[in-house]
A and B are shown apart, each in its own frame.
Chain A
Amino acid sequence: MLSSPFIHTKRSTPWVMQQVALALMPAIVTSFYFYGWAVLSNIVLMIIACLAFEAFALTLRKRSLVSLGDWSAVVTALLLAMAIPPAANWWLIVVGAGLAMLLAKHLYGGLGLNPFNPAMVAYVVLLISYPVQMSQWIDPAQSALSLSTTLDIALFGSPIDQYTGATALDAVRHNAGLTISQLAEQNPATAWGAPHHFVSLSYLLGGLYLLARRIIFWQLPIALILGVLVAGVFVYDGSSESALSPAMQLAVGGTLMGAFFIITDPVSSPTTTNGRLIAGAFAGVLIVVIRHFGNYPDAVAFAVLLVNLCAPLIDYFTLPRTYGHSKAKRATDE
């Protein structure tokens, strides 16, 4: 080392990424319990594809392949693999990985320079381009998929026998005249205890681990959850026009995954303490608003991307006051 400081924490960026991957394990295990090998095929294929695209991009940009070992591509792969329907076709995965690594990451200059969360960019583009494939969730109520069936579906495109009925968010969107409690009786996805609630719970568990390890800061997830709850109150009255209950809003549609693993992606989120509070709350409100008034029920991805878009602005308006200064400066001040 050439100059001070001569000591550093043992924390490294690869280590941070590994911790995030580790924190995703509960959710992966729970999903595996419900969906079987279908989940693992997504993950394995996605990791291979993401690493391949990352290597390709690094080679094109004449960068050292050493940064393949920073684990950032693996984390993106895990998040995207968990966000798309299990046992997704290999080509869907390859397209998704390409979008995440090339379009959302390396086009902007690679790790640290992407203004948007790569997994969410890929997810949204896939959702818009392949709405059918992106909504075909196998039915977790049936027994979990075996390895051979999974491979048949993912690699050779065999059709899936059993899809779920409408997801909770879809059910609410297409709700024709039922109150929320009637809806819950008719569609178990909108009632407490559905499989995705357990998956959500596992994200919460992983998120708490990250919080305890001080890898993510509490402001983003807590503000997001509060944002969802508060906004949720305004659109919930239990009637046929109502949205899901605020608590249910948290438990479905990847809200908790978004709160602990997506919005907390440091690269694309605001950096200041107050900025993180604002961004989290904004994302939470947006999730509810998009779900209730928007065209896509998968609001988390859109909300996150919108907040990413605002991150520089939020940072700009929440610059901290430096020691000894009477007020915070703006970057445009002299």
Chain B
Amino acid sequence: MIKVHTIPGGIHPETHKSMSNGSAAERIPTPDRLWIPVSAGLKYESEPIVNVGDSVKRFTQLTQPKHAFAVASHSPISGTVAAIEMRSVVAMPERQVLMIAIDNDGNNESERRAPMALDELSGAQILDRISRSGIQGQGGAGFSTQIKIAASKQVTHLIVNGVECEPYITADDRLMRDYSDDIMLGIQCIAKAMQLTQITLGTEDNKPQAFEAMQNAAAAANINMQWGVVPTKYPSGSEKQLIQLLTGQEVANGKLPADLGILMLNVGTLAAIGRAVVHDEPVTERLVTITGEACERPGNYWVPLGTPIDALQTFAKDGAKAQWIQGGPMMGVRVTDTTAPITQVTNCLLIQPAVKSTSEMPCIRCSACYEACPMQLLPQQLLWHAKSNNEQKLKAHNLFDCIECGACDYVCPSDIPLVQYYRAAKDELRAAESDRVRSEHARNRFEQRQARLERIEQEKIAKREARKKAAEAKKAAKQVDSDTTTSDKPKAGLLAAAMAKAETSKAPALSAEKLTKQVSNLEAQLIHQQQLLEEAGDDEKRAKIDARIKNTRIKIDQAKAKLASIDDQEQPNA
């Protein structure tokens, strides 16, 4: 047992964990059709490598990464590729992504795997197997595990994150209790491949059974580990906070845990690594806590990736007008479209009775938020500057260090949606930044172009001069005097043309700015309308607002399309 350090701030919301951690995980019946997002990481692109009509087996690779940070997807079932089309995902309600539909043929056939004992695998082979199996961080962030490992060359210390500090979620708890062998396999894989010298498990003191199971499994597997039990407090499981708790060190601003020699992996990720490496099984399912006050049979369930949330509707208590949340209540995302599929980041589906959103009261500067902030920010100052859009102050108060944990928001007596303000402010600052970069580029382009034109002009003049001299020499030779009319006219004309051209190349940048503004205005409008929709009582009103929302969406898309075309036009100028 190692000495645990303290972290500032944090909150103690009711954990509601006993609702769902009472029994071992079960399997849900496999739905008839799964929808697999082509780009599993959403932000980074992959492309489909199957076609509609192809028959696939379990573990058949469906997509190929195009971006280094992208991961591959594999089919969780055997069946046929029924469609490849744009659909909604939970994480990005405002846009659709390409998905592959697999129709279940019920045969449950798998592709042949090549399991190998850990002893027979070299470090390079282990890493190769990890990179092929499409593993993303299972703790909720969903970053490519392969990349995280690749960026951790100098690492000596593996921290196993079994904290699971979000209320309601118990997937990691159950995983540690019932699948500790898989986790140990994963730990051994990483330890071997990366030649680690130190392994620490971090878990909260409200999971004694999980802790015991892990200790037993480590003893059985003969792994030498350190044990860190942290007091139950949110957000102790956040990467930076857990590092501080277990090592007393802070990840310096702008640095990574790897700079401290630390690699942190979630227990779910490690279990997935263990299965991927030793059993040669890519990730095709995950353990999901399905729970909440409006949930019929709260518990943990193995759910095939791609299962539409609709297929889980039986979990909602009937009659309850429920709100579905993907992830925990502190950092989860509201499910706006229940056709969206389960992905590797779906650690929890929280089914809560729909509540009316409360109205925001003025900030009374009570500092409760500051007391709760684990990053030692001044949330009330951030709010103030976010409201007045003070870019410089926001940066000075380290807005970008906010981990959006929601602790401040949770304690605020004035019900101010602080995190919402911070997200919007961050988006705005990022947009402003990219605007600046873009106009910088435009200016550079303009200046380079000027320089080029100038050079051409100079060369022309030089040539002309040379020609003139040659002609004069000839003339002199012939001894015939004649008018040599050199005028500035062509030069002036050229300059004017250059200026005019420069003007036109500047023009799109101007309207791009306008369009960006338009988009952000429209998006604000959209949020407002969604709020209205939330509060609207009768169906008639809802329908009306719905129509308006659709309208706004179309407008946003149009504006974005225009923006994109301008961007494209700008490129050739460069």
Contacts and interface: CB of A to CB of B under 8 A. Distances in A.
Interface in A104-127: 110-113
Given A2-B531, A113-B362, A324 B396 contact: no
Contact of B329 (A7, A12, A324): A7
B380 interface: yes
B357 interface: yes
B277 interface: no
Contacts of B398: 322, 325, 329
Contacts of B374: 323
Nearest to B328: A4
A148 interface: no
B253 interface: yes
A113 B531 CA distance: 26
Interface in B302-340: 323, 325, 327, 329-334
B397 A329 contact: yes
Interface string A221-250: 000000000000000000000000000000
A132 interface: no
B114 interface: no
Nearest to B371: A217
> Majority SS of interface residues in chain B?
loop
Contact of A112 (B250, B365, B415): B365
A266 B530 contact: no
B410 A8 contact: yes
Nearest to B355: A1
Nearest to B380: A271
A120 B371 CA distance: 27
B92 interface: no
Contacts of B380: 271
A5 B534 contact: no
A323 B401 contact: yes
Nearest to B366: A266
Interface in A60-75: 66-67, 70, 72
A110 B362 CA distance: 9
Contact of B534 (A2, A9, A16, A217): A2
A13 B414 contact: yes
B265 interface: no
Given A266-B367, A271-B378, A5 B409 contact: yes
Contact of A12 (B250, B367, B415, B530): B415
A94 interface: no
A323 B244 contact: yes
A262 B395 CA distance: 33
Contact of B330 (A5, A15, A267): A5
B420 interface: yes
A221 to B, nearest CB: 15
A271 to B, nearest CB: 5
A164 to B, nearest CB: 36
B57 interface: no
B216 to A, nearest CB: 34
Interface in A1-27: 1-9, 11-13, 15-16
Interface string B368-386: 1011001111101100000
Interface string A298-327: 000000000000000001000111111110
Contacts of B327: 4
A329 B381 CA distance: 13
Contacts of A266: 364-367
A129 interface: no
B477 interface: no
Contacts of A1: 323, 334, 355, 357, 417, 534
A112 B527 CA distance: 26
A5 B423 contact: no
Interface in A31-81: 66-67, 70, 72
A271 B362 contact: no
Contacts of A295: none
Contact of B253 (A7, A111, A325): A325
Interface in B206-252: 240, 244, 250-252
B412 interface: yes
Given A1-B334, A1-B355, A333-B396, A6 B325 contact: yes
Contacts of B362: 13, 67, 110-113
A332 interface: yes
Interface string B389-421: 000110111100100101001111111010110
A5 B166 CA distance: 11
B500 interface: no
B167 interface: yes
Contacts of B357: 1-2
B13 interface: yes
Contacts of A325: 252-253, 398, 401
A3 B329 contact: no
Contacts of A72: 364
Nearest to A8: B410
A271 B332 contact: no
A323 B238 CA distance: 13
Nearest to A268: B365
A179 interface: no
A262 to B, nearest CB: 15
Contacts of A332: 396
A210 to B, nearest CB: 12
A266 B534 CA distance: 33
A55 to B, nearest CB: 17
A176 interface: no
Contact of A320 (B350, B352, B378, B396): B378
A13 B13 CA distance: 19
Contact of B367 (A112, A271, A330): A271
B364 A16 contact: yes
A323 B378 contact: no
A271 B381 contact: yes
B240 A324 contact: yes
A323 to B, nearest CB: 4
Contacts of A12: 361, 413-415
B363 interface: yes
B404 to A, nearest CB: 8
B378 A4 contact: no
A8 B414 CA distance: 10
A331 interface: yes
A272 interface: yes
B413 A15 contact: yes
Contact of B413 (A5, A7, A9): A9
A265 to B, nearest CB: 9
Contact of A9 (B254, B355, B404, B411): B411
Most buried by B among A1, A66, A319, A332: A1
A163 B380 CA distance: 47
Nearest to B255: A324
Nearest to B420: A3
A112 B366 CA distance: 9
Contacts of B409: 5, 8
19 contacts: A2-B420, A2-B527, A3-B420, A4-B406, A5-B330, A6-B325, A8-B409, A9-B411, A9-B413, A13-B413, A67-B362, A110-B362, A266-B365, A267-B365, A315-B381, A319-B397, A331-B396, A333-B396, A334-B392
* A-B pairs with lowest CB-CB distance, top 6: A5-B406, A112-B362, A324-B253, A266-B366, A6-B329, A7-B329
Given A271-B370, A271-B380, A272-B370, 12 more contacts: A1-B355, A1-B534, A4-B330, A7-B13, A8-B412, A11-B368, A12-B413, A111-B364, A217-B367, A269-B365, A271-B365, A319-B397
